[in-house]
Amino acid sequence: MSEEGSLDAAVKRLALALDALDAAVERRRDADRHAQELAEQLHALGTDRARLAATLDGETARLRALETANREIAQRIEVAMTTIRTVIEANDH
């Protein structure tokens, strides 16, 4: 093979190698972008999870307060009913 033919072949190989390198760089950029998007989504999910956990904690505390109030009201109603029964029975005699 002549020197010019060898040079042309080397230039073609170099061009192919550069094209392959460009393609690899582009794939890497795409992968990095995808990884960044996933990291952002993960962060958003973590933020949502923390917000939902705080909301759940607040609602759980509210539920406990309502249950306590409900028990206290039920006791007061029971006392009132007992008092009313006592008054009615006293008036019936």
Tokens of 53: 């956990």
Estimate to the nearest angstrom the gap between the alpha carbon of 59 and the chain centroid: 18
Band of residue 93 on the pLDDT scale cut at 50, 70, 90: confident
Specify the pLDDT at position 73: 98
Strand segments (E) across 1-93: none
pTM beyond cutoff 0.85: no
Quick one: DSSP state of residue 16?
H
> 20-58 burial string, b = 16+ CB within 10 Å, else e?
eeeeeeeeeeeeeeeeeeeeeeeeeeeeeeeeeeeeeee
- Taking only the tens place, the pLDDT of each residue in 5-59 is 899 999 999 999 999 999 999 999 999 999 999 999 999 999 999 999 999 999 9
Specify the pLDDT at position 18: 97
Amino acid at 2: S
Residue 1: pLDDT above 80?
Answer: no
Tokens of 4: 């010019």
